[in-house]
Amino acid sequence: MKLPGNMQNMMRQAQQMQEKMQQEIAAIRVEATAGGGMVTVKMDGQKNLLNIKIDPEVAGDVEMLQDMVLAACGEAVKQVEAQIQSKTGALLGGMGLPPGLF
């Protein structure tokens, strides 16, 4: 079934916007810390951990180290989600869609 010309253009634009959004999300890089900088994690837009840096001072206390790694990872996920939300909102805002739809 062939779509009307205007609908085809809209579908093509939507596909281009989706591809652009995926590229922008892939380019996201965040860094989060816990314990006053004793643990630092880097994460990409797909929420993959790229790097973990641990201050040697905290390495002896395993429980505290585990808590700080979890806290830093949790903060990194929040930062990634905030950036994705911001990028998505900016992109969809130009489409004239009602707020909160996505």
Domain that holds residue 88: 29-93
DSSP annotation of 31 reads E
| Residue 44 in domain | yes
Q: For residue 35, which amino acid is it?
A: G
Number of separate domains in the chain: 1
| Residue 23 in domain | no
| Residue 61 in domain | yes
Q: Residue 21: name the closest of 52, 51, 48, 46 by CA.
A: 46
Average pLDDT of the chain, as a whole number:
87
| Residue 43 in domain | yes
Global pTM reads 0.75
Angle between the N-to-C axes of helices 62-93 and 5-26, in degrees from 0 to 180, rounded to the nearest 10: 150
| Residue 54 in domain | yes
Sign of the torsion angle spanned by Cα atoms 102, 93, 77, 24: positive
Does residue 38 contact residue 29 with C-beta atoms inside 8 Å? no
| Residue 53 in domain | yes
| Residue 100 in domain | no
Q: For residue 43, which amino acid is it?
A: M
| Residue 64 in domain | yes
pLDDT for the residue 80: 96
Mean pLDDT to the nearest integer, 9-17: 87
User: For residue 70, what is the domain's CATH number?
Assistant: 3.30.1310.10
What does the H/E/C string look like for 3-35?
A: CCHHHHHHHHHHHHHHHHHHHHHHCCEEEEEEC
pLDDT for the residue 82: 95
